[in-house]
Chains A and B, each alone.
Chain A
Amino acid sequence: MGSPANDIDRLVKREYKEGFVTEIDSDTLPPGLDEGVVRAISEKKREPEFMLQWRLDAFRHWLTLTEPQWAHVHHEPIDYQAISYYSAPKNEDGPKSLDEVDPKLLETYEKLGIPLEEQKMLAGVAVDAVFDSVSVKTTFSEKLAEVGVIFCSISEALQEHPGLVKRYLGSVVPAGDNFYAALNSAVFSDGSFVYIPKGVRCPMELSTYFRINAMNTGQFERTLIIADEGSYVSYLEGCTAPMRDENQLHAAVVELIAMEGAQIKYSTVQNWYPGDEHGRGGIYNFVTKRGACRGRNAKISWTQVETGSAITWKYPSVLLEGDDSVGEFYSVALTNNRQQADTGTKMVHIGKNTTSTIISKGISAGRGQNAYRGLVKVLNKADNARNYSQCDSLLLGDRCGAHTFPYMEVKNPTAQVEHEATTSKISDDQLFYCRQRGLSEEDAVSMIVNGFCKQVFKELPMEFAVEAQKLLDVSLEGAVG
């Protein structure tokens, strides 16, 4: 029997089950980025003029920006001219009936466990499937339309509901917000659009599944969710990519808008290809996610389970503008091998009696590096703001690292801001205890890790909590000799 450190090494060897490539003819723009590319994307999507102008403004602004350097991650410089900014399966320039979708695409999603035939789907979950740069199919759209819910690709929304898009796009994450957001604003190709009308409780879970397939292609999707007064929606995002030697860039922007009394629950199970054990390949995941509680009593919850990507740079945030509004952030981030994650949240208290909760669970294995970075900001008018933050780190082995960077800016003396942080290792005592009861070492580790994440998993919709647990198991999978 080896030393505990060796055992952990063996345990955390992972296998990436979604690493296959779909052979499909694509319509791909050559690598490179200039105004011509921005115009070409807009043209391919037959966008209204305002959209093209918006993109061009973003692009010109992007040219003036430099990559942020403050995150606790390291990578070779990214050559933005070597990336292709648009790739779509041939003849897939818009959602259509299922019979018209290339069977190879259907097969791909089937293989990923996301069947797109409505009768085969999880009851009560509508899916928007995005393949490389375009949405290939949105299920249950008609059924949702009966209650007034709009759920479609953002390209379709630009055709069918340009007014709504124009009004809200960039209203939470301005086009020039940061380097990656500006890039996304210039070249985003697709993503999901959701509008829940006043007083409607969305009758099913909405979900988007992102798949990067093409080589040397970046994925820049844009998601916009608007929950009008007193409405409710639960939304889930999942993602995978084939195993490739080179790094692929994923720079998404997600904007959430919750009006008075509305509630948005946004859950992510992120499983992009993490690269191999030597750190070759994997997705660079640079994402800007932000929600605004625009009215009284609005509530936005972010729940994320992050097990993939070579580098994750992601801080889902909530702007608590309305009085009595509530922001929540529940996160599990696992890094293994050479993975790096710098993730956390921003809670900005603007209205009175606003409350935020942050529960962050970081798990590091192998040589993984996991950083929590959180900002709690209480502005001077935000009387009686309350925040509770809890950041727990679990280390598996002794070559990995956990770092916590909590920032607080409190400008109102009535605020109550609490922060707790712990770092622990899976103890030999716990492992021995479980194994003495008959569990294999692998099952024991998985059970203890899942226990560590329980507070976050219980926030996920039921079906996805099970998926998330399985994902952690796969991520920690390895032979025990």
Chain B
Amino acid sequence: MLSIRNLHASVEGNPILKGIDLEVRAGEVHAIMGPNGSGKSTLANVLAGRDGYDVTEGQVLYRDKNLLEFSVEERACEGIFLAFQYPVEIPGVSNLYLLKTALNSVRKHQGMEELSAVEFLKLIKQKIKLVEMKEEFLHRSVNEGFSGGEKKRNEILQLAVLEPSLAILDETDSGLDIDALKVVAHGVNSLRNEQRAIIVVTHYQRLLDYIIPDKVHVLANGRVVKSGDRTLALELEKHGYAWVAQNPDAAAAPAVGS
């Protein structure tokens, strides 16, 4: 599904990603961990196609196509979804309206018929139960005045509505209380299937108790320094990142996870 090879990227001329290799197949869940500033969000932004992130080397294939050629919205319509670490507020735009417009843009792109208001309402009522959000949130402005945890739930609601092929969750667990964490995990797990791949960026092993990953990668200083199965997350929790630095994978370990 996703194949990242020797990816280098800079922001305002500063190299941040310094040779990332990652292979994610349909049906898999990958966790990416790593210290603050190691480049996790940068990777997510590069995959989503954000302006200002310049790929200086390497390539990214998504469903065998050169992902880097596509615009932000084309990537989104082709099934890439990014749950933001810091979701923005959009005053005056109702959550419901954004969701409906987004879903219909994606459906249109994929040659499906757009949903009518009635059909959409039916769908959303179902999805909102999945993330245990109150209906009033649909009528409030996008993320405006939402608590940190509510914003994260809202990201999962969007994920559930848009049903992407590749979902990238950037620290969706940060700032969640334990109940919300379970809700978010349940939402994500219910989307797990053979056609879909999920990348979760997290600092906490705790999330991985609920969303059990197939692979875990440690990012440090713009590179994947160690990969393993879910036990790697447990080791990390025990020993910290210093331990990874002392026990990296073979220096140029490519083709992780294949």
Contact = CB atoms under 8 A, between A and B. Distances in A.
A450 B162 contact: no
Interface stretch (A248-256, A348-356, A365-373, A452-460): A452-460
B91 interface: yes
B128 interface: no
Given A1-B51, A4-B51, A438 B90 contact: no
B92 interface: yes
B22 interface: no
Contacts of A438: 73, 76-77, 102-103, 105-106, 109, 162
Interface in B39-88: 48, 50-52, 71-73, 75-77, 81-82, 84, 87-88
A32 B233 CA distance: 86
Given A1-B51, A4-B51, A437 B92 contact: no
Q: Which 6 pairs between the two chains have the least Cβ-Cβ distance?
A: A451-B92, A454-B92, A451-B93, A437-B102, A438-B105, A435-B72
Contacts of B81: 436
Contacts of B52: 428
A404 to B, nearest CB: 19
Interface stretch (A41-49, A92-100, A441-449): A441-449
Contact of B87 (A427, A433, A441): A433
Given A434-B102, A438-B102, 17 more contacts: A428-B52, A432-B72, A434-B90, A435-B73, A436-B48, A436-B72, A436-B73, A436-B75, A438-B73, A438-B105, A438-B106, A440-B73, A448-B90, A450-B93, A451-B93, A452-B92, A455-B92
A432 B93 contact: no
Interface in A114-168: none
A432 B72 CA distance: 8
A63 interface: no
Contacts of A451: 90-93, 141
Contacts of A441: 73
Contacts of B48: 432, 436
A439 B92 contact: no
A437 B52 CA distance: 19
Contacts of A22: none
A26 interface: no
A437 B90 contact: no
Interface in B104-163: 105-106, 109, 141, 158, 162
A330 to B, nearest CB: 13
A138 to B, nearest CB: 36
A463 interface: no
A257 to B, nearest CB: 34
B92 A428 contact: no
Contacts of B97: 447
B72 A429 contact: no
B195 interface: no
Contacts of A437: 76, 98, 102, 105, 158, 162
Nearest to A3: B51
Contacts of A427: 88
Contacts of A414: none
B193 interface: no
B154 to A, nearest CB: 11
Nearest to A427: B88
A175 to B, nearest CB: 42
Nearest to B84: A433
A481 to B, nearest CB: 10
5 contacts: A1-B51, A435-B72, A437-B102, A438-B73, A450-B92
B98 A434 contact: yes
Contact of B98 (A1, A447, A454): A447
A427 B81 CA distance: 20
Interface of B: 48, 50-52, 71-73, 75-77, 81-82, 84, 87-88, 90-93, 97-98, 101-103, 105-106, 109, 141, 158, 162
B223 to A, nearest CB: 25
Nearest to A4: B51
A429 B162 CA distance: 20
Nearest to A426: B90
Contacts of B88: 427, 429-430, 433
Contacts of A447: 90, 93, 97-98, 101
Nearest to A428: B51
A3 B76 CA distance: 21
Contacts of A455: 92
Nearest to B73: A435
Contacts of A452: 91-92
Contact of A432 (B50, B91, B158): B50
B90 A1 contact: no
B5 to A, nearest CB: 22
Contacts of B103: 438
Contacts of A443: 101, 105
A434 B97 CA distance: 12
A436 B71 CA distance: 9
A433 B142 CA distance: 11
A427 B51 CA distance: 12
Contact of A439 (B82, B105, B158): B105
Contacts of B106: 438
Given A428-B51, A451-B141, A435 B76 contact: yes
Most central of A428, A432, A435, A440 by chain B CB within 10 Å: A435
Most buried by A among B77, B81, B87, B105: B105
Contacts of B90: 430, 433-434, 447-448, 451
Nearest to B101: A439
A430 B72 CA distance: 13
Interface in A3-17: 4
A4 B52 CA distance: 10
B92 A436 contact: no
A250 to B, nearest CB: 31
Nearest to A2: B51
Contacts of A435: 71-73, 76
Contacts of A434: 90, 98, 102
Nearest to B110: A438
Of listed A440, A443, A453, residue having the most chain B CB within 10 A: A440
A331 to B, nearest CB: 15
